[in-house]
Amino acid sequence: MYSNKDKKSLTELSKNLLKGGSSLFPEAPEKQAADLKKVLVFHEHQYYVLNNPLISDFEYDQLFKKLEAIENEHPELVSPDSPTQRVSNDLTESFNTVPHTVPMLSLNNSYNAEDLKDFDESIKKLCLLPEDMELEYVVEPKFDGGSIALIYENDQLVRGATRGNGTQGDEMTANARVIRSVPLKAAFSKHGIQKAEMRGEVVIRKDIFEKMNKERLKNGLEAFANPRNTASGGLRMKDPKEASQRGMVAFLYTIGYAADKDGNDMIPSFKTHEESMNVLGELGFKVPGESHKLCKNIEEAAAFCAEWEAKRESYEYEIDGMVVKVNDIALQEKAGFTSHHPRWAIAYKFKAKQATTKLINVEYQVGKVGAITPVAKLDPVALAGVTISSVSLHNEEFITERDLHLGDTVLVERAGDVIPYIVKGMKDLRDGSEAKIVFPTHCPSCETQLLKLEGEAAWRCPNYDCEAQVIQRLIHHVSKNAMDIDGFGKSIVERFYGLGWLRNVADIYRLDYSKMSELEGFGAKSATNLEAAIDKARKQPISRLLYSLSIHHLGKKVSKLLAAEVDHVLDLAAWKAEKYVDIKDVGPKVAENVIEFFGNEKNIELLKDLESLGVNLSQTEDDRPKALNVDGPFFGKTILFTGKLLLMGRKEAQEKAVAAGAKNLSSVSSNLNILVAGEKAGSKLKKAQALGTVDIYTEEEFLKILEE
Ligand code: IVH
């Protein structure tokens, strides 16, 4: 939709507008407003549609405020498609029922490769095609949110509606307008389309949902149950202002209706589903894009479905399956619809995410800062492809709120992320043999009396030397996100602790490798490997070291922020509260805990001890903040490395690209600008060549551009 040249010039225009450059032309508020509108629409697209913001939220807000100020002074310049006009002040009393231009149907379901094969055969039968012919399919995620139908007339968004019963839904234009990935204006007329109704699913990104919930809890509001209900509920809010707070985006997955000015059907003018999605992307809509695949036959489609089933949890959005669609629009028209579903598409449903089982016992785990976590032991049950035998119950309140008892039948779900949880207990199924869960008053490890800090849900063991806590702190220190000591995991920590070799994290750096090599099942090689891994950890950036110290509330993000501010870790010992709070995103709670940590002489001794053992305590290059390189040769471009790279490692190449202003993508799509093809580049190279819009470089060419 925007060429790289557009991106560059719009980003420059944004910077000029931010600098107040427009005040040079006070006589032309029309021009200023038009420029501001143009850059705001561009940045909305970069942020919400492409997930690739090119300016900070703060800068965006500044530009927005500038436009608001001009529009306040010159109300005649306000147009309905202005970014300032997304959120209306008007409350909806009751939603109007409106008919859909053509019915919004459901999908037929399939559950395995066999079902998909049957589907493929049925299409060929319907379309009178030879049995052995290979049909092309587009496979895309089945987004799990709220369905939406958007009508554009003369390039303007004129109506939004929910699916309702499929024939008619609730009109909710005001809420559709607050979804910032939905363009208020789109150039359908370029394609001869005067009126179009598009279908899509409104969803909320899982990380944004989590953040929103944290914020709600902080403000004393109840947490939302899951992204799906929050999105579909968001479409039905009476106050568009509230709806605008839910971080909703809409993926468009089909054109339900399109007509020219004489009412002629325009859908057949697209040859394929893929092409129609590319056109929607080009018009500024969010489409499955990177997450879809054009498959050359049903076997490839089935393999892609299986691949996504395995990785569904790591995807940014909640999905409950994949949708397999015949790519050829002429074939789609031939296959047609039943009253329930299109015959040319089918949902591939993922395995159930919910199951019921018995809660057998509760065990209590002590965390690295002493928090006591109750863990339910369950009768093992299969859930979305794995067997679940224990789930976290989080804290005492979680148990009392759900009124869980030992022996209860419970409903378990694996949603949003990989961690399963108990949705509810089935009280109706009790037979009287169930027993109340009694939360302990003393630490299960050291028997110290537990206490609860104000504002916290967890009971905590206050004994810093509690054995369970010490072990947890050691495990955390060596873990992937902390010092990342390869080969040093929970079992080794427990074993060395048991041998009396480890009492605090500094002991890790004075392990005796010759003694270690004599351990049963260990050997010289394992000891040497561990020694090398520990040596590597000595040089880790201080952001990792800070994070590895198990300071209450100090996560990876704030560790990085603090590391960027100090030359040496011990500098923090002199920091006062104001200094922490001055850093954006460092809250008073974490500040309090870091101050407490550095106020304790024992901890200072520990850090000095670590330093004397060769552990790095000084800021490294990695700790210093990296600015987005606006002047880099690849600024604003997306890049993908494929094939075997001979001149550099893949990670190194990706880092070089980022340093030059680019963003790495993981697959070929219409969003991709540059493909660097190494040796034996295969399907990705072919696909990029077929797109015709991707610049293809060799490794040498890529490096040459960097040098220049
Ligand atoms: S195609 C006529 N594609 O799934 C076309 N639907 O039962 C029919 N959904 O609630 C739908 N992601 O909103 C299609 N990539 C996708 C989808 C998708 C989610 C939802 C749709 C509806 C349900 C269909």
Q: Is the model's pLDDT at 562 over the cut of 90?
A: yes
Fold (topology level) of 638-707? Rossmann fold (3.40.50)
Q: Which residues contact 284 (CB under 8 A, 6 or more apart)?
A: 1, 45, 49, 183, 186
Burial 126-161 (b: 16+ CB within 10 A, else e): ebeeeeeeebbbbbbbbbbbbbbbbbbeebebebbb
Which residues of 281-407 form beta strands (DSSP E)? Answer: 293-295, 319-326, 345-349, 354-366, 372-383, 386-392, 405-406
Q: Which of 413-422, 443-452, 654-663 has the lowest mean pLDDT?
A: 413-422
* In the chain, domain spans: 4-85, 108-349, 354-436, 467-612, 638-707
The fold of 354-436 is: OB fold (Dihydrolipoamide Acetyltransferase, E2P) (2.40.50)
Residue 217 is predicted with a pLDDT of: 83
Q: Tell me the two tokens of residue 449.
A: 């009396």
* CATH class as words, domain 4-85: mainly alpha
Q: Is 14 exposed, middle or buried (0-12, 13-18, 19+ CB in 10 A)?
A: buried
Handedness of CA 132, 137, 143, 146 (dihedral sign): negative
212: which DSSP letter?
A: H
- Summarised one tens digit per residue, pLDDT across range 475-492 is 999 999 999 999 999 999
Q: Residue 149 Cα, ligand 1 centroid: separation in angstroms? A: 11
Q: What is the pLDDT of residue 670?
A: 84
The strand pair at 663-664 and 459-460 is best described as: unpaired
Task: State in Å: Cα 145 to ligand 1 middle.
Answer: 10
- Is the shortest distance between the CB of 286 and ligand 1 below 6 Å? no
% of the chain surpassing 70 pLDDT: 98
107 CA to centre of ligand 1 in angstroms: 7
Class of domain 467-612: mainly alpha
Give, for ligand 1, the residue of 143, 273, 276, 280 to mutate: max count of ligand atoms closer than 8 Å to Cβ.
143
CATH of domain 108-349: 3.30.470.30
**Tens digits of residue pLDDT in 604-630:** 999 999 999 999 999 998 998 766 677
**Does residue 702 line the site of ligand 1, with CB under 6 A?**
no
Regarding the beta carbon of 345 and ligand 1, being less than 6 Å apart is answered yes
Tell me the per-residue pLDDT of 114-155, one tens digit each, with 9 for 90 and over: 999 999 999 999 999 999 999 999 999 999 999 999 999 999
For residue 23, pLDDT over 70 is answered with no
Q: Is residue 22 very low, low, confident or very high in pLDDT (cuts 50, 70, 90)?
A: very low
Please count the CA atoms within 13 angstroms of the CA of 64 that sit on its side-chain side.
15
Taking the centre of ligand 1 as the mean of its atom positions, its distance from the CA of residue 422, in whole angstroms, is 28
- pLDDT tens profile 563-596: 999 999 999 999 999 899 888 778 888 999 999 9
